[in-house]
Amino acid sequence: MAKVFQRSDLPRFASTRDTRDRLDVVTEHVPVGARALRADRIVYSPGDTAAPHYHVGCTHVFYVLRGSGIVRHGDRRERVAAGSVVVVGAGEVHWFENDTDEEFAFVEYWSPPPAETVWIHEGDVCTWRRAPAAEAVNA
């Protein structure tokens, strides 16, 4: 049976590291029954950057919705923009940066969900806190 969720029905989280915003799409917080896939939407404000990390046991796929930013993977640094797809393999160090004056947003998918996330620099991690509904962010 099909299920329809409005954006206001989906769990939102705010980064404890910077101003990034996460909207869960397919996670343990959204009852869709998917066990081999996870997905969420992330918005980076100007200047936001994630901490270098990798995931154990999953492929990570990103689809850029709007704006542009930098994806770092291994020793590479590449510009991505709306319509770009980035695929990161299990164990591959990666992170994103918004070096522009506009929001940068993407949907990220994990298959299967990661067994673990490993942060590269001790103490430099990305965690999330539940965001109040009043902090709504577009798309």
pLDDT of 54 reads 96
Each residue's pLDDT tens digit, 7-42? 989 999 999 999 999 999 998 888 888 889 999 999
Answer yes or no: is 129 within a domain.
no
pLDDT of 33 reads 83
Whichever domain contains 113, its CATH number is 2.60.120.10
Answer yes or no: is 4 within a domain.
no
Model confidence at 91: pLDDT above 90: yes
Model confidence at 127: pLDDT above 70: yes
* Domain limits for position 57: 11-122
- Measured in whole angstroms, how far is the alpha carbon of residue 91 from the centre of its chain? 17
**How many structural domains compose the chain?**
1
Answer yes or no: is 6 within a domain.
no
Checking 120-126 for CB contacts under 8 A at 24+ apart, the result is 120/51, 120/52, 120/53, 120/54, 120/93, 121/51, 121/52, 124/51, 124/52, 125/17, 125/51, 125/53, 126/15, 126/16, 126/17, 126/20, 126/50, 126/51, 126/53
Answer yes or no: is 43 within a domain.
yes
Each residue's pLDDT tens digit, 54-90? 999 999 999 999 999 999 998 999 999 999 999 999 9
pTM of the model: 0.90
Answer yes or no: is 54 within a domain.
yes
Answer yes or no: is 49 within a domain.
yes
Percentage of the chain modeled with pLDDT above 70? 95
Enter the DSSP assignment of 131: P
